[in-house]
Structure 1
Amino acid sequence: MPFLFRLFSRCPLWLLHAFGVVLGWLVFAASPTYRRRLVANAALAGYSFSQVRGAVAHAGRMAAELPRIWLGAPTPLEWEGTACVDAAYARGRGVIFLTPHLGCFEATAQGLAQRYSPAHGPIVVLYRPARHPLMATVLEGARERPGLETAPTTLAGVRQMMKALRAGRAVGLLPDQVPPEGMGQWAPVFGQPAYTMTLGARLALQTDACVLLVWGERLPWGRGFRLHFRELQSPLSPLLESAVVQINQEMERLIRECPQQYLWGYGRYKQPRVDPVKGA
């Protein structure tokens, strides 16, 4: 697998995306469970399958582009709404970038590192360590790029993010990941209760960091990605439970900007897993 990843990392993005389209539809056709979940999750948000059918191909593109994103040459990037990023860094209190499973979320972290780390220090991104040994080998160092640091989903990783924010640096995470039991709260997502990460809200409330939203739009024909930045519609609530609900609402707002690129097949409403490691 490491050899294949390195081989595919040299392919042009348009070729990987073309392969991803086929891959996405093959998985959709072969897995009734995945197919039902994708359709059901979209329906909860008010979308028919015909309205989000593009998400099937985009899920395949997401998987196929990973070798290039992780191990290959930098991809072309376009930028939209960066004034709020400049203003947030100017405050000097740290920046928290939140993004859902929308478009290419790997490209957002790399883009931020390329553009802002020379002046403001490395950005720290939260990741869940791979369970499979082969994938762990692939990921070892793959996400470590200049200006980009990774923090595991452990107590040590949380401390690493807190330290970065208190130094005026930035962190990034996906708040629509389902956390282990005991590390989240039940909050509505498109009107349906979903076990929701509290980490993003806790980091903001404990450090007074600025919270911004970002998502990486996948451009057609392998032209790269367009990074979109948004401010919160209203200041984050000082109450943790309310702040978590508010962040879910902000994620919904981003998803509705481009529902065809959201990962509707993700098990957003699943029961949280029991983590045997305390603080992990």
Structure 2
Amino acid sequence: MPVVFRLLSVFPLWFLHALGAALGWVAFCASPTYRRRFRAHSALAGYPFRAVRAAVAHAGRMVAELPRLWLGAPLSCHLEGESCVERAYAAGRGIVFLSPHQGCFEIVVQAIAQRWGAEHGPITALYRPARQAWLAKLMETARNRPGVLLLPTTLAGVRQMIRALRRGEAVGLLPDQVPPQGQGQWTPFFGRDAYTMTLAVRLAQQTGAAIVLARCERLAWGRGFVTYFEPLAQPLSAPLEAAVLQINQAMEYLIRQCPGQYLWGYGRYKPPRAVPPSSAGVDA
């Protein structure tokens, strides 16, 4: 598998996206559970299948483009709303970038690092190490590109995030990802309670960092990506419960900008997994 992964990293993006689109539909047709989840989640948000069917292919593209993103030459990513990010950096309190599972969220971190890393320091993000040894090693090395610092989801990793924000640097999170037990709260997401991380809110409240929303869209025919930045519509609420709901509503807003590239098949409403002892207190 490592050899195949490295081989795919040299292929052009249009080929990987074509391959991924086919694999996305194969997975959709082969898995009744995936199909039911995809249809149920998109219907919950008010979308008939015909309105979001493109997301089936985009889920496959997300997987197929990873070799190129991790091991290949940098890909083109146009940025919209840079002035929003510039103002946030100028405030000097750091930035919490929030992105949903939409489009190529992997390249958002790379694009931020390429554009602002040299001037404002690296962007720090957390990741859950893979179970496969080869993939875990690859994630630990290949994803740490210049200006990007990836840390495992542990208490030590969160502490480094806090220190980065206090230095005026940036961190990135996917707030629509289900956190482990004890690190979130049940909050409505498209009208249904979903276990939602409180880490994003706590980081912003503890450090005074600005929150910047980021969403990325794939361009057709492998022409690259566009990442859009904008501030949170309203200042973050003080009560934790209200602030977490506010973040969920912001993610809903971003998803509705391009529902055809959201991962509707992700298990957003699943119960949280038990937290390992090494990660206890990550979101405390």
The TM-score range, normalised by the shorter chain, is over 0.9
Where 1:140 maps in the other structure, the secondary structure is: helix
Structure 2: any 5+ residue segments left out of the alignment? none
Summarize the alignment of residues 135-154 of structure 1 with structure 2, pairs less than 5 Å apart. 135-154=135-154
Q: What does residue 37 of structure 1 align with?
A: 37
Equivalent residue for 2:52? 52
Q: Does 1:212 align with 2:212?
A: yes
Question: Are the counterparts in 2 of residues 95 and 165 from structure 1 also a CA contact under 8 Å?
Answer: yes
Deviations 1:21-74 (A, max 9, x none): 100000000000000000000000000101100000000000000000111100
The equivalent of 2:125 in structure 1 is: 125
Could you tell me how far 1:99 is from its partner in structure 2?
A: 0.2
Which residue of the partner structure matches residue 21 of structure 1?
21
Q: What is residue 112 of structure 1 aligned with on the other side?
A: 112
Given that 2:140 and 2:150 are in contact with CA atoms closer than 8 Å, whether structure 1 keeps it comes out as no
1:2/1:137 contact within 8 Å kept: no
| Structure 2 counterpart of 1:98, one-letter code | L
TM-score by length of 1: 0.98
Structure 2 counterpart SS, 1:144: coil
The CA distance in 2 between the partners of 1:114 and 1:79, in whole Å, is: 11
Measure, in 1, the Cα distance between the counterparts of 2:219 and 2:281.
38
* 1:178-197, Cα deviation, whole Å (9 max, x unpaired): 00000000000000000000
Q: Is the Cα contact below 8 Å between 1:187 and 1:196 reproduced in 2?
A: yes
Q: Which amino acid aligns with 1:234?
A: Q
Find the counterpart in structure 1 of residue 257 from structure 2: 257
1:239, CA displacement in angstroms? 1.3
Which runs of 5 or more structure 1 residues have no equivalent in the other structure? none
- In the aligned structure 1, how far is the partner of 2:137 from the partner of 2:152? 15
Q: CA deviation at 1:130?
A: 1.1
Matched residue SS, 1:5 = helix
Partners of 2:244 and 2:54 lie apart in 1 by 29
Q: What letter is aligned with 1:279?
A: G
Q: Distance in 1 between matches of 2:110 and 2:254?
A: 20
Contact 1:14–1:221 at 8 Å: present in 2 too? yes
SS of the equivalent of 2:137 reads helix
Secondary structure of residue in 2 paired with 1:10: coil
Q: Is contact 1:178–1:196 with CA below 8 Å preserved after alignment? A: yes
The answer to whether the 8 Å contact 1:211/1:232 transfers is: yes
What does residue range 71-220 of structure 1 map to in structure 2 within 5 Å? Answer: 71-220=71-220
Give the SS at the match of 1:269. Answer: coil
After superposition, residues 229-244 of structure 1 pair within 5 angstroms as 229-244=229-244
The percent identity for this pair of structures is: 64
2: distance between equivalents of 1:263 and 1:141? 26
Give the secondary structure class of the aligned counterpart of 1:88.
helix
> 229-238 vs 129-138, which deviates more?
129-138
Q: 1:152 and 1:194 mapped to 2: Cα distance?
A: 23
Which whole-Å deviations, capped at 9, do the CAs of 1:212-240 have from their partners, x for residues lacking one? Answer: 00011111000110010011110000111
Number of the residue aligned with 1:279:
281
- Give the AA of the match of 1:155: L
Q: What do you get for the CA RMSD once the two structures are aligned?
A: 0.8
Per-residue CA deviations over 1:68-94 (Å, capped at 9, x if unaligned) read 011110001111111100000000000
AA of the residue aligned to 2:36: R
- SS of the residue corresponding to residue 142 of structure 2 reads coil
SS across alignment from 2:195: strand
CA distance in 2, matches of 1:201, 1:276: 22
Structure 2 distance, partners of 1:172, 1:140, is 17
SS of the residue 1:141 aligns to: helix
Cα distance in 1 for partners of 2:49, 2:84 equals 35
Distance across 2 between alignment mates of 1:134 and 1:118: 30
How many residue pairs end up in the alignment? 280
